[in-house]
Structure 1
Amino acid sequence: VGLQELIDQLGIARGEVAAFGDNYNDVEMLKLAGTAVAMGNAVEEVKALADYVTTSSDQDGIARALAHLGCI
Structure 2
Amino acid sequence: MNHRIASKETAVDFLIKRFGIERSQVIDIGDNYNDIDMLKYAGLGIAMGNASDEVKKHADFVTSTNDEDGVACALKKFIFDE
User: Is the aligned partner of 1:60 residue 2:69?
Assistant: yes
Quote the offset at 1:52 in angstroms.
0.8
> Identical aligned pairs, as a percentage?
49
| TM-score, with structure 1 as normaliser | 0.93
- The RMSD of aligned alpha carbons is 0.8
Unaligned runs of 5+ in 1: none
In structure 2, C-alpha distance between the alignment counterparts of 1:50 and 1:29, rounded to whole Å: 10
3-state SS in 1 of match to 2:36? helix
Partner of 1:48: 57
Q: Which runs of 4+ in 1 moved over 4 A?
A: none
Structure with larger Rg: 2
| TM-score, with structure 2 as normaliser | 0.82
In structure 1, C-alpha distance between the alignment counterparts of 2:34 and 2:58, rounded to whole Å: 13
Aligned pair partner of 2:37 in 1, 12, 28: 28
3-state SS in 1 of match to 2:35? helix
Quote the offset at 1:29 in angstroms.
0.7
